[in-house]
Amino acid sequence: MIDKLKQARLDKLDNIFKAGIDPYPAKSTRTHNIKKALEDFDELSKSEENITISGRIRTTRVHGALTFIDLEDQSGQMQLFFRKDDIDDEKYEMLDNLDMGDFLQAEGILFTTKRGEQTLGIRDYKILTKSLLPLPEKWHGLQDEESRYRKRYLDLIMNKDTKELFIKRTEFTNHVRQFLNNSGYMEVETPVLEAIPGGADAEPFTTHHNKLDIDLYLRISLELHLKRLLVGGFEKIYEIGKVFRNEGMSTQHLQEFTMLEFYWAYADYEDLMSFVEKFYMEIIEKTFGTLEIPYQDTVLNFKAPWPRIDYREVVLKESGVDIDLYPTKEDMQKIVKEKGIKVDPKAGRGRLIDQLYKKLVRPKLIQPSFLINQPLDISPLAKKKDDDKSKVQRMQVLIAGSEIGNGFSELNDPIDQRERFEAQDKLRAEGDDEAQMMDEDFIEALEYGMPPTAGFGVGIDRLFMILTNQESIRDVVFFPTMRTKHFKLKVETGEHKVKMGEAEMKIEKKESKKKK
């Protein structure tokens, strides 16, 4: 079916070429986008001024010597009116070679039809792009969710809500930058490729630098390079950038995602909590016009002050486990198993506590709140509390049962930092692939002195997903990573298999061998 439709369009393309028309010109002109033309419609129609708009053809309706086309650009949609008497015969006949999906430049005079529709009466037009494949609307839109992710360009063309969602995301990110810039922060950039990944408990992706002949890692956080800049004398800095974690996928996890991290010299986690409340409230209210955000079957209220929840107390309340009574890895393994949680034998005490918390506690914490007084075992980069060295000066932002932000009074004692890296190294040697690696260069930087600092990080994708009440984090990412394979695009007339290249052919061959 698709092959026949494509061939029909190729035949029309051939007709355009034979008419001496370039269907893919480099130059185009327009005087107005469609939104502006509609906003200024009364003035422009009264003056009978010629205007030029450009966009994609969405529908075509032919009535003998009259043709109506709906043209769409990013800003909106407008009806075009072609009358044989207004343009030369050859140009009018050439309309037969246009299809939905083609790009057109249209020049004419604005007027209102008898039905009251604001319309551009065409005096001239120019083909800008001849499309060779029909849009999914031919079969009532994209029916397959996987196809929407793989072919996001079609999703954007066909689904207005998708396009508006991503426009809203850009607006949201702009508000993030504006807030931090107005608060005296400087935006910086740090390397994606690192000799030693650090700043988070995660398994990294690896790659190889051919010229230098060295193995490198894709960064798992922005933290350690940003802290080096604090050593260098910067006091308020932030970065919005991609990080990469080679771990499981879920509705809230991606291997490649956008992270915001900012660092504030001469502040601690108490200062940070007040600042973060203000930060979330302002960017949410500016983007959505309210602090009450619908999410699933509840409403999230971001108005300050947010409750501060003690880690040990909430774990005891929701799971019945007092983590202070289980001081060793073996003790914690036993109680976690008793709670019906699958235990990774390679995990240390901190990871086991974290598993207990994530399974039995965090899903119950719905309204925006701060989780504080975390045990030292799960926070290798945070300062210890002055009054209890077994706990750290850390806060986590919890929203809708998920961690949507993480901050510390940052560790700046190089001796303490070395000891914690050594403890992490031991866990790594025991098989914990997510434990952090020793970073001698970072410790050396700390030895030159880093001021007391508060640091904060949040995944932009996950936060925006919750604020827009999406089912999956992949809904707020233009091109989420997908398995390379055959997939099917469901259409009304049947199913058309779309080939994805040599990689999928190799996968298919391997799978067929396994079946044999």
Percentage of residues of the chain with pLDDT beyond 90: 78
Q: 440-447 vs 414-429: helix axis angle to the nearest 10?
A: 170
Span 383-389, average pLDDT: 92
294-334 pLDDT per residue, tens? 999 999 999 999 999 999 999 999 999 999 999 999 999 99
Indicate the range of 277-281, 337-341, 436-440 predicted with least confidence.
Answer: 436-440
In contact, 120 and 81? CB cutoff 8 Å: yes
Same-domain pairing of 470 and 485: no
User: How buried is residue 516: exposed, middle or buried, by Cβ count under 10 Å (0-12/13-18/19+)?
Assistant: exposed
Domain assignment present for residue 352? The answer is: no
pLDDT > 60? residue 494: no
pLDDT digits (tens, 9 = 90+) for 188-202: 999 999 999 888 888
d(CA 424, CA 252): 26
Give me the mean pLDDT over the 67-75 stretch.
97
Average pLDDT of 265-281? Answer: 98
pLDDT at 132: 96
CA distance 486 to 18: 37
Burial class of residue 436 in the structure, from the number of CB atoms within 10 Å of its CB (0-12 exposed, 13-18 middle, 19+ buried) = buried
What pLDDT does residue 213 have? 96
Tokens of 80: 């075009």
Quickly tell me which residue has 């005296």 as its tokens. Answer: 184
Residue 121 domain-assigned?
A: yes
Same structural domain for residues 112 and 234?
A: no
Question: Tokens representing 275?
Answer: 């600042």
Convert the pLDDT of each residue in 113-136 to its tens digit: 999 999 999 999 999 999 999 988
CATH number at residue 24: 2.40.50.140
Q: What total number of domains does the chain contain?
A: 3
Note the pLDDT of residue 245: 94
Q: What is the pLDDT of residue 423?
A: 87
pLDDT of 507 over the 90 cut: no
Beta carbons of 306 and 277 less than 8 angstroms apart? yes
Give the span between the Cα atoms of 338 and 52, in whole angstroms.
72
- Same domain membership, residue 492 and residue 448: no
Residues 430 and 288 in one domain: yes
Residue 98 lies in a domain: yes
**Residue finishing a domain among 99, 134, 169:** 134
Nearest to 252 by CA among 91, 39, 465, 87: 465
Amino acid 495: pLDDT: 35
Look at residue 498 in the predicted model and tell me its pLDDT.
Answer: 35
Residue 488, pLDDT > 50, answer no
Q: Is residue 434 part of a domain?
A: yes
Which residue range is the domain that position 488 belongs to?
139-157+480-515
Residue 137: per-residue pLDDT: 63
Alpha helices in 130-194 (DSSP H): 145-150, 152-158, 160-182
Any idea what the CATH number is for the domain that residue 464 is in?
3.30.930.10
Q: Quote the percentage of the chain above a pLDDT of 70.
A: 92
Residues 146, 176 within the same domain:
no
Instruction: Let me know whether 119 and 184 are in one domain.
Output: no
What's the mean pLDDT in 17-45?
96
Q: What residue has token string 């983590």?
A: 323
User: Is residue 341 one of the residues assigned to a domain?
Assistant: no
Q: Is residue 336 part of a domain?
A: no
Vertex 97: Cα angle to 115 and 20 (nearest 5): 125
Using alpha carbons, list the distances in angstroms from residue 165 to 118, 135, 170, 444.
Answer: 27, 21, 9, 45
The verdict on 212 and 269 lying in the same domain is yes
pLDDT digits (tens, 9 = 90+) for 159-212: 999 999 999 999 999 999 999 999 999 999 999 999 998 888 888 999 999 999
Label residue 506 by pLDDT band (50, 70, 90): very low
Domain assignment of residue 329, yes or no: no
- Where residue 493 falls among pLDDT bands split at 50, 70, 90? very low
What would the mean pLDDT of 53-76 be, rounded to a whole number?
96
Instruction: Please check whether residues 76 and 204 belong to one and the same domain.
Output: no
Residues 251 and 374 in one domain: yes
Same domain membership, residue 107 and residue 249: no
Residue 398 or 251, more confident: 398
- 315 falls within a domain: no
Please tell me the predicted confidence (pLDDT) of residue 247: 84
Domain shared by 117 and 48, yes or no: yes
Q: Say whether both 119 and 198 belong to one domain.
A: no
The H or E element containing residue 71 is strand 66-73
pLDDT at 143: 60
